[in-house]
Amino acid sequence: MSASPPSFAVNLVNVTKRFGTQVAVNDLSLQVPTGSIYGFIGPNGSGKTTTIRMILHIFLADSGTVEVLGRQGTRSANDDIGYLPEERGLYKKMTVRRMLLYYAALKGVGEKAAGPEVDRWLERMDLTPWAKKNVEALSKGMAQKVQFISSVLSKPKLLILDEPFSGLDPVNLEVLRSAILDVRQQGTTVIFSTHNMTTAEEMCDYIFMIYRGNKVLDGTLSSIRATYGEDTIRLRVQGGRAALRGVEGVEVTRDFGQHLDIRNPGDPQALLQRIAAKARVELFEVTTPSLHDIFVRIARPEVKEEANA
């Protein structure tokens, strides 16, 4: 490897992957800058996990090039990649410490180097008392933290986390979030997939959205929002949603209970007047759509189809 790290930790060029006749990932190009946190979003079954597996060379692309940490088309970078799969995989009958040492050894890190690292992480995650217990004795949240430790023990240059926060309580979520940010601080590039748009907005430098195998969003959060323009109005009226019935040009995208987000491609002033004529306005804010709204706008047709099916 060259002395200076490549500018892109992951560089996919026109990558396609088919399973039988189904195209799982279609002509995907993606550059993940070294040192960034890159969020993968997209509905279930849209190609996120397939993309991740191609980065890990668990699946080989049918066409296109997959370059990871400067190495193209081989698994040789895998020892420098930490991976937390969506579905947790731990040996129930092994003790926590022994299993972590095994996972480290599989990444080529011997017990001498991995031992202190295991102890340090267990301490940090409040799991030291569980080190000698069998994995099956752990709660779901603890198991998740152990799985996370297994992915960072080898001090990877690239960390791939598939749904790292699912099923965590707020305390553990905070522990994990700060751990991820620390790892990034030390120069590790982080890719994580999530269904939680707020987390993605808060943590990610870049967002990538894949939908039915095609890339639909890719860029910084602000650049993505900018392409959608200020077409969203945050609104609170007395009487709530019912009071808006019959007002022309009101399309509620999301009802938060306390306020509504409505989509308005037209002139906000005209809309305000129309609403004010019908109901008492308490809040009226012109804003960009949230990532959540953008996600839903893209993926809603499918959700509806699924509901009808």
Partner 1 sequence: MRKIWTVAKTEYLNAVRSKAFIIGIVMLPVMMSGSLIVGKLTKDKVDIRPRKLAVVDQSGWLAEKIETRAAARNEKDIFDPVNKTKQIRPAFVIERVAAQSADEKVEVALSERVRKKDLFAFLVIRSNIVDSAATNTVSYFTETASFVELPGWLDNVLTDEITRKRFEGAGVDQALVARLTKRINVRQLGLTEVDQSGQVIKAKETNRMATFMIPFASMMMMFMLVMSSAPALLNSVLEEKMQKIAEVLVSSVTPFELMAGKLIGTLFVSLTLSVLYIGGAALLLTQMALTGYVDPSLILWFLVFQLLGLLIFGAVFIAIGSACSEIRDAQSLMTPAMMMIVLPMFCLVPVLESPSSTFSRAISLFPPATPMLMTLRIASKPGPPLWEILLGVVLCSAFTIFCLWAAAKVFRIGILSQGQAPTVGKMIKWVFSK
Contact residues: partner 1, CB under 8 A: 56, 58, 75, 78-79, 81, 83, 85, 87-94, 102-103, 105-108, 150
DSSP codes of every residue in 37-83: EEEEE--TTSSHHHHHHHHTTSS--SEEEEEETTEESSGGGGGGEEE
Alpha-carbon distance of 256 to 133, in angstroms, equals 44
- Cβ of residue 78: shortest distance to partner 1, in angstroms? 6
Query: Please, what is the minimum distance in Å from the beta carbon of residue 200 to partner 1?
Result: 23
In whole angstroms, how close is the CB of 91 to partner 1 at the nearest point?
Answer: 6
State which residue, 66 or 235, has the beta carbon closest to partner 1: 66
**Centroid of chain to Cα 125:** 22
- Tokens standing for 18? 């088919």
- 20 vs 257, which CB is nearer to partner 1? 20
For the chain, the farthest-separated pair of C-alpha atoms sits apart, in whole angstroms, at 74
The least CB distance from residue 75 to partner 1, in Å, is: 7
Phi and psi (nearest 5°) for 290?
A: -75, 165
Nearer to partner 1, 76 or 227 (CB): 76
Closer to partner 1 at the Cβ: 151 or 232? 151
Q: Quick one: 92 or 245, whose CB is closer to partner 1? A: 92
Q: Which is nearer to partner 1, 91 or 284 (CB)?
A: 91
The CB-of-268 to partner 1 minimum distance in angstroms stands at: 49
Q: Rounded to the nearest whole angstrom, what is the least distance from the CB of residue 281 to partner 1 in the complex? A: 51
